[in-house]
Amino acid sequence: MLDYFRSIGARAIHSVAVLGRSGVFLANSLIGVPTLRSGFPLLIKQLYSIGVLSLVIVIVSGLFIGMVLGLQGYNILVDYGSEQAIGQMVALTLVRELGPVVTALLFAGRAGSALTAEIGLMKATEQLTSMEMIGVDPLRRIIAPRLWAGFISMPLLAMIFSVVGIWGGMLVGVDWLGVYEGSFWANMQASVSFEEDVLNGIIKSLVFGFVCTWIAVFQGYDSVPTSEGISAATTKTVVYSSLAVLGLDFVLTAVMFTAL
Amino acid sequence: MYKRTIEIVVGLFIMLGIGALAVLAFQVSGLTTNAAADTYKIYAQFDDLGGLTKRGKVSMAGVTIGRVSNVELDKESYTALVEMELYRSVDNLTTDSTASIQTAGLLGEKYISISVGADEEYLKEGDTIFDTQSALNIEKLIGTFASGK
């Protein structure tokens, strides 16, 4: 009986300790911003492996999601004779919700897991320790560029996703199903607001990018330095990031779009 | 050489992202750069807005000539006070113009349609349109019809 309570207590203390460690870790790596000259090439390299290499999956899924939205929306709207509203539906869905959320989920699977595995392996092979030995701060050299790269690429990817998705919706709606192109764009422009919809979508993707990269690099840095440890950390990254994205999305939507 | 390629690709990626932002801003949300500068304000009072909201269109003969910038209750007359921003280029609306609230299509959004009168003076910044026609309220219409009045 006492052991039962003990295990609950131990688990609670453990999770609070992990939360605290990740906070300290985040603060240390963000404060340790490398100088512009030495840090910039590192950032470019990470932007390439986090951002550019995620482009293909983001563009392809954006295109298909936009096309599916176009098809589904058309089938429902055509019953009410208002299939011109398809542009508005596709654009609002993508810009407000699916753009940031799906990109963040893809980002966690594509870039986040890679980050965790990379950093976990660095830790397992004691590269991080040897860096400390020769006086290079691994937080500054390894973690900070990756954090910033994730923070920068995520909104860019989300915007690209939305645009490609809208084009996909237009491909299905206008070119295949024959909705008039003028009313497709006009309805969209009349209902999508730059300040309320586009900017809030970008804010969402900034938050998601921040959370996903933070979880990914922290799980890598905090992993048990064995092969099982790395695989567990990679799984945790994807699971925690996805849950955090979906949960935060609800909170952000409640704050942003309900008080209109 | 390899590093140079990476830098070029990253540069292209950033430009692609910024391009996407531009498309979202101008093509998707229809943001115009000179929206705030050259407009003038006109007011109108309606008995019933019937769902007209801020950012609604103001049009004449089907052409958009401005937008609704604010909607509030006039506490003295208990009517709705609508503030419209009209494009400066449309400066020849007569003072006896009529403003009516209409619906785009059967289920579409509400907008204000303005038609001109025969007066020789034109509306200026801050003027009020007195001749207004409220939104068609289908429920009220059915109610009148059902009670046979």
Of A121-135, A187-201, A207-221, B19-33, which range is least confident? B19-33
Residues 6+ apart with CB under 8 A from A126: A225
Tokens (6 digits) for A160:
């690209």
Chain B residues with a Cβ under 8 Å from any Cβ in chain A = 3, 6-7, 9-10, 13-14, 16-18, 20-21, 23-25, 27-31, 55, 57, 105-109
Render pLDDT for A23-41 as a digit per residue (tens, 0 to 9). 888 887 777 665 666 777 8
Residue with tokens 């990679």: A234
Element (H, E) at B84: strand B79-87
- Whether A98 has its CB under 8 Å from any CB of chain B: the answer is no
Q: Say whether B115 sits in a helix, a strand or coil.
A: strand
Phi, psi of B92, deg, nearest 5: -120, 40
Tokens (6 digits) for B120:
């020789």
Identify the pLDDT of residue A37. 66
pLDDT confidence tier of residue A241, bands split at 50, 70 and 90 = very high
B110 CB neighbour count, 10 Å cutoff:
18
- Whether A255 has its CB under 8 Å from any CB of chain B: the answer is no
Render pLDDT for B16-75 as a digit per residue (tens, 0 to 9). 888 888 888 877 777 665 555 578 888 988 888 877 877 778 888 888 888 888 888 888
Identify the pLDDT of residue A82. 78
pLDDT over 70 for what percent of chain B?
91
Residues A120 and A128: their CA atoms lie apart, in Å, by: 10
Of A153, A159, A189, the CB nearest to B30: A189
Tell me if A52 and B13 make a contact (CB, 8 A cut-off).
Answer: yes
Q: Which of B123, B28, B143 lies closest to A99, judged by CA?
A: B28
pLDDT confidence tier of residue A105, bands split at 50, 70 and 90 = very high
Residue from A43, A48, A83 to probe the interface with B (highest B Cβ count within 10 Å): A48
Of B13, B31, B105, the CB nearest to A194: B31
Supply the ipTM of this predicted assembly. Answer: 0.75
Render pLDDT for A158-179 as a digit per residue (tens, 0 to 9). 999 999 999 998 898 888 888 8
Tokens (6 digits) for B106:
């059967």
- pTM of model > 0.80: no
A153 CB neighbour count, 10 Å cutoff:
31
Tell me if A198 and B28 make a contact (CB, 8 A cut-off).
Answer: yes
Tell me if B17 and A189 make a contact (CB, 8 A cut-off).
Answer: no
Q: Say whether A115 sits in a helix, a strand or coil.
A: helix
